[in-house]
């Protein structure tokens, strides 16, 4: 196998490949900022799915977005050409995909970095890093940095050192009809009850109780979610309160980010919106199961104002750990907000 180490000053363009969900992408974006700190002249290309592009576009450290949805419909020869045209010096496979790994090799990207835990990386990458995500006690954002070791970046950054490199800013303004619903005289709290099945959920009834407590305390409460999620929770007590601002199914991802920027706090399970809020330096309160590998030590929001709540019990099974999230009380969440 041909191993290539480029001189630090020769890095012109680095691809960060992370083609999974919004939360995962946000916890990967600090790599872009840190790479620019180490190599000030480098251009960062982010390879991701189209639905995460608005989030990537909101990161000042990324110069170009490659759309995996466009890539994956191509034949193998065209996929190779797709990557060759980028003319990158380095590709970092943060989220391993066999098709990208093979195409990067065929496109002769000089330095191809991936985890040694994927068999196909043994033949497609010329630098592999040996670490286990599942067995590690590190946070996801810290684990991502492990893949930068072949670039002679071997700093073991703390969460506090990673936070400044989050840097998300909205790319659009809220429509007037949405902005007019926000009370300038009240502290605004977004409740995001559902997770599209990506996380263990606290329950809509708990969110309704929390909303009632918040309204009694003088907060403005805004509920967000997709149109499909609105159908799932439409009959809940959450929407029986007249002071609730219901924006479920009414916002694009760009508009959701603008809304988060205009509000003060967001409460959610381990979801993309929670990580968006933390990256925008908002008070982000996460509700988590302690089941590994989805536990908060691995996936908690990491912004300067972020926090989380979870419940655990010695000897509890995975199912019991998931069920314990229901024991988090609305009053406990309220204390995180006020």
**Contact in structure between 224 and 193 (CB atoms under 8 Å):** no
R_g (Cα) of the chain, nearest Å:
21
- The topology under which CATH files domain 176-337 is Rossmann fold (3.40.50)
> In angstroms, rounded to a whole number, what is the distance separating the alpha carbons of residues 280 and 276?
6
* pLDDT value at residue 270: 95
Mean pLDDT of the chain: 94
The answer to whether the 8-165 and 176-337 domains have the same CATH topology is yes
* pLDDT tens by residue, 107-132: 999 999 999 999 999 999 999 999 88
Segments making up each domain of the chain, as ranges: 8-165, 176-337
* pLDDT tens by residue, 31-84: 999 999 999 999 999 999 999 999 999 999 999 999 999 999 999 999 999 999
Q: 67: burial class by Cβ within 10 Å (0-12, 13-18, 19+)?
A: middle
* pLDDT tens by residue, 282-316: 999 999 999 999 999 999 999 999 999 999 999 99
Q: Is the pLDDT of residue 9 over 80?
A: no
| Residue partners of 277: CB distance under 8 A and separation at least 6 | 190, 260, 265, 266, 268, 283, 284, 301, 303, 306
* pLDDT value at residue 4: 45
Query: pTM of the full predicted structure?
Result: 0.93
Which stretches of 17-117 are DSSP H helices?
A: 22-26, 30-38, 53-57, 68-71, 76-84, 98-106
- The topology under which CATH files domain 8-165 is Rossmann fold (3.40.50)
Using the structure block, give the residue that is written with the tokens 């065929």: 106
> In angstroms, rounded to a whole number, what is the distance separating the alpha carbons of residues 178 and 176?
5
* pLDDT value at residue 198: 85
* pLDDT value at residue 3: 40
């Amino acid at each position: 196998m041909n191993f290539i180490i480029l001189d630090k000053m020769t890095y012109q363009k680095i691809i960060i490949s992370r083609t999974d969900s919004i939360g995962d992408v946000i916890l990967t974006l600090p790599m872009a900022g840190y790479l620019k700190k180490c190599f000030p002249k480098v251009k960062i290309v982010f390879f991701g799915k189209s639905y995460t592009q608005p989030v990537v576009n909101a990161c000042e450290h990324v110069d170009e977005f490659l759309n995996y949805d466009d890539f994956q419909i191509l034949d193998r020869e065209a996929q190779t050409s797709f990557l060759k045209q980028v003319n990158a010096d380095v590709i970092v496979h943060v989220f391993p995909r066999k098709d990208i790994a093979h195409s990067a090799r065929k496109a002769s990207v000089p330095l191809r970095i991936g985890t040694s835990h994927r068999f196909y990386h043994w033949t497609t990458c010329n630098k592999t890093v040996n670490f286990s995500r599942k067995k590690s006690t590190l946070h996801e954002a810290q684990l991502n940095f492990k893949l930068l070791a072949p670039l002679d970046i071997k700093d073991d950054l703390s969460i506090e050192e990673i936070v400044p490199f989050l840097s998300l800013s909205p790319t659009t303004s809220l429509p007037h009809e949405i902005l007019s619903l926000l009370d300038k005289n009240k502290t605004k709290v977004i409740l995001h009850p559902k997770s599209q099945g990506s996380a263990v959920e606290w329950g809509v009834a708990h969110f309704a109780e929390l909303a009632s407590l918040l309204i009694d305390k003088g907060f403005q409460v805004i509920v967000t979610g997709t149109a499909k999620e609105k159908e799932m929770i439409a009959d809940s007590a959450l929407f029986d309160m007249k002071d609730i601002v219901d924006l479920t199914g009414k916002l694009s991802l760009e508009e959701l980010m603008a809304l988060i920027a205009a509000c003060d706090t967001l409460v959610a399970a381990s979801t993309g919106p929670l990580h968006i809020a933390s990256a925008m330096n908002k008070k982000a309160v996460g509700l988590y199961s302690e089941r590994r590998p989805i536990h908060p030590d691995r996936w908690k929001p990491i912004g300067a104002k972020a926090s989380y709540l979870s419940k655990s019990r010695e000897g509890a099974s995975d199912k019991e750990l998931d069920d314990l999230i229901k024991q988090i009380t609305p009053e406990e969440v309220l204390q995180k907000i006020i």
